């Protein structure tokens, strides 16, 4: 299996990631072997390695062992933001979607240490999870913090926040649900705002130019690095309109 395009799905356009080989440490290898049963969602695959089988809609109550509001983070990296959130909000179900295996292993290690039981991880291309695996209107909040900026002009077509993504995100969010975005890349921040302002089914949840910093977001290495080199951190929040 490889990450080659799948015809007739989101893979008709380039994916927003390049899979890092990212060698795993011994601790991460052990985490993968010992903690996957508890945290890693054995998602049904389509044709490509990180794909989801079209039509494989999940029963979330059986995945989490309970029905509860759902918060999904796309590109959870090392898992710092979602573990903090899952520990402080035990009444909510959390889903971390990431393609970087060493990051997922690190997330499982920290989730185990933090004793969280309301978190699952999906090793998959996020738009396919939203489109095929999660039931329509099942997500209360969707978080995308510091997505890869793809700053070279020839690569901007790889950016996740694009018109195709907004219709997939809108389908997964319940009416009234929120899409929270953050980036330290000004040009991408402006693209996000233009794309979401023009998207059907979303309205701004902020006044003025940008949203306030989301206080549920912990400082990650990406945000710290952006601030250190003098970049402004931009937050955006949109609400999914009622149908």
Does position 220 bind ligand SAM by CB under 6 A? yes
Does position 94 bind ligand SAM by CB under 6 A? no
Does position 75 bind ligand SAM by CB under 6 A? yes
> Nearer Cβ to ligand SAM, position 62 or 216?
216
Query: How many amino acids of this chain bind ligand SAM (CB under 6 A)?
Result: 22
3-state secondary structure 45-95: CCCCCCCCCCCCCCCHHHHHCCCCCEEEEECCCCCHHHHHHHHHCCCCEEE
Does position 95 bind ligand SAM by CB under 6 A? no
Site for ligand SAM in 6-35 (CB under 6 A): 15-17
C-alpha 199: how far from its chain's center? 19
DSSP 181: E
Instruction: Give the C-alpha separation, 127 to 172, whole Å.
Output: 10
| Residue 140: active-site member | no
Helices (H), the chain: 26-39, 60-64, 80-88, 101-114, 126-128, 163-172, 186-198, 221-228
Q: Give the residue, chosen from 103, 141, 202, 211, that forms a contact with ligand SAM under the rule CB under 6 A.
A: 103
Does position 226 bind ligand SAM by CB under 6 A? no
Q: Give the residue, chosen from 222, 226, 233, 234, that forms a contact with ligand SAM under the rule CB under 6 A.
A: 222
Min separation Cβ 182 and ligand SAM, Å: 8
Min separation Cβ 109 and ligand SAM, Å: 16
DSSP 44: P
Does position 110 bind ligand SAM by CB under 6 A? no
Min separation Cβ 46 and ligand SAM, Å: 14
Min separation Cβ 242 and ligand SAM, Å: 28
- 12, 59, 140, 148: the catalytic one is 148
Dihedral sign for Cα 23, 28, 32, 34, please.
Answer: positive
Instruction: Give the C-alpha separation, 64 to 158, whole Å.
Output: 32
Beta bridge partners of 96: 73, 121
Instruction: Give the C-alpha separation, 179 to 204, whole Å.
Output: 10
Does position 102 bind ligand SAM by CB under 6 A? no
Instruction: Give the C-alpha separation, 28 to 12, whole Å.
Output: 33
Interface positions with ligand SAM (CB under 6 A): 15-17, 74-77, 97-100, 103, 125-126, 145-148, 160, 220-222
Q: Which residues are marked as active site?
A: 148
């Amino acid at each position: 299996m490889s990450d080659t395009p799948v015809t007739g799905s989101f893979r008709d356009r380039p994916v927003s990631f390049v899979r890092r080989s990212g060698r795993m440490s011994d601790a991460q290898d052990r985490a993968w072997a010992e903690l996957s049963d508890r945290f890693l969602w054995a998602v049904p695959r389509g044709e490509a390695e990180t794909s989801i089988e079209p039509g494989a809609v999940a029963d979330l109550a059986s995945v989490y062992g309970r029905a509860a509001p759902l918060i999904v983070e796309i590109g959870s990296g090392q898992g710092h933001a979602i573990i903090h959130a899952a520990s402080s909000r035990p009444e909510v179900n959390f889903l971390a979607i990431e393609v970087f295996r060493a990051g997922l292993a690190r997330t499982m290690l920290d989730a185990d240490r933090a004793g969280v039981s309301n978190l699952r991880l999906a090793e998959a291309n996020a738009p396919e999870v939203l489109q095929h695996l999660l039931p329509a209107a099942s997500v209360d909040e969707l978080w995308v913090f510091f997505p890869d900026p793809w700053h070279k002009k020839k690569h901007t077509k790889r950016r996740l926040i694009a018109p195709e993504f907004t219709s997939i995100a809108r389908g997964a969010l319940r009416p009234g649900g929120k899409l929270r975005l953050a980036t330290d890349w000004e040009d991408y921040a402006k693209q996000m705002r233009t794309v979401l302002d023009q998207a059907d089914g979303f309205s701004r949840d902020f006044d003025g130019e940008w949203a306030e910093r989301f206080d549920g977001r912990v400082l990650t290495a990406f945000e710290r690095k952006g601030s250190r080199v003098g970049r402004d951190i931009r937050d955006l929040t949109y609400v999914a309109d009622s149908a």
